[in-house]
Structure 1
Amino acid sequence: MDATRTDSGPSLFLIRASGTVPSPTKSPSPTKSPTTAPPADGLTARFVKTSSWNGGYRADYVITNNGSTKTTSWVLEFDLPSGTTITKSWSATHTWNGQHHRFTNLSYNGDIAPGASEKLGFNASGTGLPLNCTINGKPCRAVAPTTPPPTTPAPTTPPPTTPPPTTAPPTTTPPAGAIVDVATSPQLQAALSTARPGQTIRLAAGTYRGAFLTQRAGTASARITLTGPRTAVLINDGPAGTAPSCPAPTAGWDPGYGLWLYDAPYWNLTGLTVAQSKKGIVLDNSHHVTIDGMHVHHIDEEAVHFRRSSADGIIRDSVITDTGLVQQGYGEAVYIGSAKSNFGCHGNSGGMDRSDRVQVLDNQIGPNVTAEHVDVKEGTADGVIRGNRFDGQGISGANSADSWVDVKGSGYLIEDNTGTFRTPGTFANGYETHNLLDGYGCGNTWRDNTSDLGGVGRYAIRITSTSKCSSNPNVVHSSNTVTVTGAVDGLTNIPTTP
């Protein structure tokens, strides 16, 4: 969406009924450990096949810390039967020797707090499944097939029978341990307001209504984790009160955000749901935040916003549907950065919003996302949009919202995504670029994307200007494909690169 947008004041709302992947390199086969002892550091790993096709499949390993102390690193190993190979991997460094495969953590996902999880994933050619799995040299063991956090004990007092006011202060002081179990909205508000590095806030199933804000920072070596099952649902019935000139935590004002991180870097948000709020998850000056396995739906405006230089963030393995219920043109699923018209509020890095290096990985986005599925704003750079499934049904066309992905930033890699469109909806092109700021909207790369525009959209990939990017051109590889009847004018409007 290219129209000016602001977040400076309350509105009236309808009543409402959540980098480049390292290339594999061969390494010597490590010595296998015994297969009887349980993992000494509390780590377990669960294999999850996420999709399959003729002659291959995609899978994750979910690594969970069931111990009482934070881990600092992990190594996962397994064997594959003869005839099955790994063609691509992510979220880990992959080496192998013959049929033995080894995955080691990256810089951002080696530290796993108690009760939290991280994932690695891969594509396989062949149908053989992993054997002899070990994590840090011990058997992976099976864990529960549902969301990783253990069942939370029942609260000692029943939750209130009516939702608390969105402006009510926390009334429960959370425990001060490494794991904080919460089961009510006041408990969650208190836990968010007092969270400290290395702590895990663990939600019980249930509905949590209120304003959920944290201004507490984790660290690179001690991230803070908020986790819960999909049935833990955060809802904000706001907005309320008088807004400041620029969005910032202000006494007496509830912006209506489902979950708001402000000056709160190094968080993990895993598993839970955010719904029925003005905006879903908003990150302001909150870098290195990972959003993993979340469900965000039925949101008045955008679902997830990386804002005010919230760089190096990740959203992966999440589901986003039903956005823009009130402001259709503002119903983006993932919004990276800010329009230049809003740099006055959010341009905290040299006058710009530098929400750089954000990764959007392996998400299901749509249907009924009324604006772009990923809107990459001018002033941002070097992100990755990979492995997502875009269902464009319901895109509104309001305020130029008529594509899956609109790239106004530079240096983005857009690869291995699958996009479809079916009416109802308004659709112009699958992927677009725009040049709203000098030097931006250039140097982006598309490869291995599959597009079906339903015979409505013009191009799978439309590059708006080549003259404005003559020194740093956008590149569309010939490995991108579009169904024969899927696009009115074909794959792209520029020559492809092998």
Structure 2
Amino acid sequence: MRRPIIGALAATALAAAAAIAPALPAHAAGPRLIAQIVQQSMWSTGYGANVNLSNSGDAASTGWTVEFDLPAGTTVSTSWSSTRTTAGNHVTFTNATYNGAVAPSGQTSFGFNAAGLGLPYNCTVNGAPCNGSATPSPSQSPSPSPSPSPSPSPSPSPSPTVTPTATPTATPTATPTATPTGTPGPLVDVANSAQLTAALAGAEAGQTIRLAPGEYHGAFATQRAGTASRPITLTGPRTAVLVNDGPAGDPPDCPVPTAGWDSGYGLWLSGAPYWNLTGFTVRDSKKGVVLDGSPHVVIDGLYVHHTEEEGVHFRRSSADGVIRNSVVEYTGLVQPGYGEGVYLGSANSNWGCHGNSAGVDRSDRVLVENNRIGPYIAAEPIDVKEGTTGGIIRGNTFDGRGISGQNSADSWVDVKGIDYLIENNTGTFAAPGTFANGYETHNPATTPSFQNGCGNVWRGNSSDLGGVGAYAVKVTSPSSCAAHPNVVYASNTVRNAVSGLTNVPVTP
């Protein structure tokens, strides 16, 4: 369900800057794009916004360009689902490879974060005004409005329809890196498994690999790296489906892509930073998407389901990644205790293999945003492992049906990491399954030593424990975090709880 536009924003200059254009006289057949800028959040030094584009014409667009100016002192710091260029105070966004075609009456969107509070003006889309009215004064500023919690997606529908929100610089202070932007490189179209295998093996920085609809069977892996300015993109429609139905099993040593050996992973990035993975499906594999030593990877709009173990794993210090607008369901079909939906980091017992940062798996600052995770995630929908820090888990929908209770899996999110912000998520539980609490913390001891399970913040989360779960947020050992406590704000709500909101004092 698309996040509703903030009502208070309608009266602000930002909405006036990019309101829907008035009706125009009859015209020749063609696309007519309208842009609307919608503030999603605001903080003391900036704000975040979505730019929603709709096509009121009678032909599909083949691409779009949105441009506007910003007043002195305000810049665009990050953006996603677009390619951004800046010249002075003038900012230009062009479509990504997967969202340029907008059908008549169709919509698409991209987003940005601004450093500074100045508002866009002189907005145009494909050279025409974003609206037919006067633009606002650059001195006007938006009014802060809280982002509402998203409504649960119907299940088991595979298609997420939520809109990305911006990343506020709230506690914790570390902010995950957003989608890399840069100049698009060459396009490689693939239509079968052999072509995909070759494209992954030979991928170059800035390249886009585009999947045609169809099933791709094989062991798909890459060790090719993009760059911050020239990420590599693998994109395709939901009907482009990656399947690894071959042999599986780890080799004697720590797993790396090896000729003649099939990991069983649906898609494996190993030592492959700066990739964008958008739109396609991964299913019927041992693991869904595995990132090893691959920081700055953005997963946007994937559908991962029916895996023997976990759905998506950020591993071996795959830091500063993003997973948003995706659906993960039906995991742990063979090993329920290892069937996490999204897995951040590694257990310290596996640091000997996956601890590639001074002996620790530092898959830090991962942004998990606006996904539907569940039903039938056999382990936790999200498992945050010890030694990781500074991530954000926001705007997700957790469907707890099917949580197995195996390997201590009995909550939506188990946080063993440090300084995570967990906000505006919606969680529900109903039979079948084993369910103890909505969110839990744990404090495993590690070498080197960390304040594991401490300093995490919950706010604005909505929890329905189905009359089974005890607490929405259960802090397992408050005394273990006396120097760096976990914080549960009163903005969290709970229904159908055996015990209540939390077992620690609530912060107003």
Q: Which residue of 2 aligns with 1:87?
A: none
8 Å CA contact 2:80–2:111 kept in 1: the answer is no
8 Å CA contact 2:80–2:110 kept in 1: the answer is no
Q: Which residue of 2 aligns with 1:115?
A: 97
* 2:495 pairs with 1:475: no
After TM superposition, give the deviation of residue 230 of structure 1 in Å: 0.3
After TM superposition, give the deviation of residue 210 of structure 1 in Å: 0.3
Q: Which residue of 2 aligns with 1:298?
A: 306
**Could you list the per-position Cα deviations for residues 216-274 of structure 1 after superposition, in whole angstroms to 9, with x for gaps in the alignment?**
10000001111000000000013347713111112221110000001111110000000
- How many pairs align? 393
Change in 2 beyond 3 A, CA 1:238/1:45: farther
Change in 2 beyond 3 A, CA 1:394/1:59: farther
Q: What letter corresponds to residue 61 of structure 1 in structure 2?
A: N
**Could you list the per-position Cα deviations for residues 280-301 of structure 1 after superposition, in whole angstroms to 9, with x for gaps in the alignment?**
0000010110000110000000
- Structure 1 window deviating more from structure 2 (181-190 vs 231-240): it is 231-240
Match of residue 61, structure 1, among 34, 41, 52 = 52
What percent of counterpart residues are identical?
A: 62
Q: Which residue of 2 aligns with 1:464?
A: 476
- DSSP-derived class of the 2:393 partner: strand
Report 1:120-269 matches (<5 A): 120=110, 134-135=124-125, 138=128, 178-240=186-248, 243-269=251-277
Q: Which residue of 2 aligns with 1:488?
A: 498
Report 1:78-117 matches (<5 A): 104=76, 106=78, 111=83, 115-117=97-99
Q: Which residue of 1 aligns with 2:342?
A: 334
CA distance in 1, matches of 2:208, 2:252: 31
8 Å CA contact 1:43–1:135 kept in 2: the answer is no
RMSD after superposition: 3.8
CA distance in 2, matches of 1:456, 1:32: 47
Q: Which residue of 1 aligns with 2:352?
A: 344
8 Å CA contact 2:15–2:36 kept in 1: the answer is no
Q: Which residue of 1 aligns with 2:169?
A: none
Report 1:410-449 matches (<5 A): 410-437=418-445, 438-449=450-461
Change in 2 beyond 3 A, CA 1:121/1:178: closer
After TM superposition, give the deviation of residue 467 of structure 1 in Å: 1.3
- DSSP-derived class of the 2:272 partner: coil
After TM superposition, give the deviation of residue 198 of structure 1 in Å: 0.9
Change in 2 beyond 3 A, CA 1:185/1:481: same
8 Å CA contact 1:265–1:287 kept in 2: the answer is yes
Change in 2 beyond 3 A, CA 1:345/1:444: same
After TM superposition, give the deviation of residue 66 of structure 1 in Å: 5.4
CA distance in 1, matches of 2:236, 2:297: 16
After TM superposition, give the deviation of residue 204 of structure 1 in Å: 0.6
Unaligned runs of 5+ in 1: 1-23, 37-41, 50-57, 78-94, 97-101, 123-131, 148-176
After TM superposition, give the deviation of residue 350 of structure 1 in Å: 1.1
CA distance in 2, matches of 1:401, 1:351: 26
CA distance in 2, matches of 1:48, 1:392: 34
CA distance in 1, matches of 2:51, 2:382: 23
8 Å CA contact 1:300–1:326 kept in 2: the answer is yes
Report 1:7-46 matches (<5 A): none
After TM superposition, give the deviation of residue 134 of structure 1 in Å: 4.0
Q: Which residue of 2 aligns with 1:3?
A: none
CA distance in 1, matches of 2:257, 2:32: 37
**Could you list the per-position Cα deviations for residues 196-216 of structure 1 after superposition, in whole angstroms to 9, with x for gaps in the alignment?**
111110111000000100111
Q: What letter corresponds to residue 457 of structure 1 in structure 2?
A: G
Change in 2 beyond 3 A, CA 1:344/1:299: same
Change in 2 beyond 3 A, CA 1:408/1:184: same
CA distance in 2, matches of 1:244, 1:254: 13
**Could you list the per-position Cα deviations for residues 273-330 of structure 1 after superposition, in whole angstroms to 9, with x for gaps in the alignment?**
0000000000001011000011000000000000000000000000111000000011
Change in 2 beyond 3 A, CA 1:466/1:313: same
**Could you list the per-position Cα deviations for residues 169-194 of structure 1 after superposition, in whole angstroms to 9, with x for gaps in the alignment?**
xxxxxxxx711111000000111111
Match of residue 497, structure 1, among 484, 487, 507 = 507
Q: What letter corresponds to residue 315 of structure 1 in structure 2?
A: I
CA distance in 2, matches of 1:238, 1:384: 35
Change in 2 beyond 3 A, CA 1:220/1:342: same
8 Å CA contact 1:209–1:234 kept in 2: the answer is yes
CA distance in 2, matches of 1:193, 1:65: 33
CA distance in 2, matches of 1:202, 1:46: 27
CA distance in 2, matches of 1:446, 1:424: 27
Q: What letter corresponds to residue 461 of structure 1 in structure 2?
A: V
Q: Which residue of 2 aligns with 1:288?
A: 296
8 Å CA contact 1:75–1:103 kept in 2: the answer is no
Q: Which residue of 2 aligns with 1:353?
A: 361
CA distance in 1, matches of 2:189, 2:34: 23
Change in 2 beyond 3 A, CA 1:245/1:453: same
Change in 2 beyond 3 A, CA 1:181/1:481: same
Change in 2 beyond 3 A, CA 1:411/1:75: farther
8 Å CA contact 2:197–2:221 kept in 1: the answer is yes
8 Å CA contact 2:18–2:37 kept in 1: the answer is no
- DSSP-derived class of the 2:294 partner: coil
* 2:386 pairs with 1:378: yes
Change in 2 beyond 3 A, CA 1:48/1:250: farther
CA distance in 2, matches of 1:308, 1:62: 38
After TM superposition, give the deviation of residue 336 of structure 1 in Å: 0.2
CA distance in 1, matches of 2:15, 2:305: 45
Unaligned runs of 5+ in 2: 1-8, 25-30, 39-48, 55-59, 85-94, 100-107, 113-121, 132-158, 161-184
CA distance in 1, matches of 2:490, 2:372: 25
